[in-house]
Structure 1
Amino acid sequence: MRVILAPMEGVADAPMRSLLTQVGGYDLVISEFIRIVDQLLPEKVFYRLCSELKNQCRTSAGTPVRLQLLGQHPQWMAENAVRAVELGSRGVDINFGCPAPMVNKSNGGAALLKQPDTIYQVVNAVRKAVDSSKPVSAKIRLGWDDKSRCVEIAQAIEAAGATELTVHARTKEEGYRPPAHWQYIKQIKDAIAIPVIANGEIWSREDYLNCQAISGCDDVMLGRGALTVPNLAHVVKAQQAPLAWQQVKQLLLQYSEFEIVSDKEKYYPARIKQWLKFIARHYPEGEQLFVELRVLKQTKDILSLLKQA
Structure 2
Amino acid sequence: MSRLFLAPMEGLVDEVMRATLTEAAPYDACVTEFARVAGSALPAKFFTRIAPELHTRSRTAAGTPVKVQLLGSDPGRLAESALTLAQLAPAGIDLNFGCPAPTVNRHRGGAVLLDEPELLHRILLAVRAAVPPSMPVTAKMRLGMRDTSRALEAACALADGGAGELVVHARTKEDGYRPPAHWPWIARIAEAVSVPVIANGEVWTLDDYRRCRSESGRCDVMLGRGAVADPFLVERIRAAQAGAVVRSHDEDWSRLHPLIERFWARVLDKVEPRHAPGRLKQWLNLLRRHYAQAGLLYDAIRPLRDPAAVSNVLQQAVVLA
Give the TM-score taking structure 2 as reference length: 0.93
Contact between 1:229 and 1:242, CA under 8 Å: does it hold in 2?
A: no
- Alignment-derived partner of residue 35 in structure 1: 36
3-state DSSP of counterpart to 1:201: coil
Contact between 1:6 and 1:221, CA under 8 Å: does it hold in 2?
A: yes
Equivalent position amino acid for 1:5 in 2: L
Equivalent position amino acid for 2:7 in 1: A
CA distance in 2, matches of 1:290, 1:174: 29
3-state DSSP of counterpart to 2:33: strand
Alpha-carbon offset, residue 221 of structure 1: 0.4
CA distance in 2, matches of 1:113, 1:234: 34
Alpha-carbon offset, residue 265 of structure 1: 4.4
CA distance in 2, matches of 1:266, 1:122: 40
1:1-309 → structure 2 map (5 Å cutoff): 1-238=2-239, 240-242=246-248, 244-263=252-271, 265-309=273-317
Contact between 2:137 and 2:164, CA under 8 Å: does it hold in 1?
A: yes
Report Cα offsets for 1:229-272 as digits up to 9, x if no partner: 10111112226525522322211111001110124544321111
3-state DSSP of counterpart to 1:238: helix
CA distance in 2, matches of 1:213, 1:307: 43
CA distance in 2, matches of 1:307, 1:28: 32
Equivalent position amino acid for 1:289 in 2: L
Report Cα offsets for 1:3-47 as digits up to 9, x if no partner: 011011111111111111111220101111111012222221111
3-state DSSP of counterpart to 1:197: strand
CA distance in 1, matches of 2:217, 2:12: 29
Contact between 1:25 and 1:231, CA under 8 Å: does it hold in 2?
A: no
Equivalent position amino acid for 2:304 in 1: L
Which sits farther off after the overlay, 292-301 or 1-10? Answer: 292-301
What do you get for the CA RMSD once the two structures are aligned? 1.3
3-state DSSP of counterpart to 2:239: coil
3-state DSSP of counterpart to 2:214: helix
Gaps of 5+ in 2: 241-245
Q: 1:43 to 1:266 in 2, by over 3 A?
A: farther
Gaps of 5+ in 1: none
How many equivalent residue pairs? 309
3-state DSSP of counterpart to 1:4: strand
Identity of aligned residues (%): 45
Equivalent position amino acid for 2:136 in 1: P
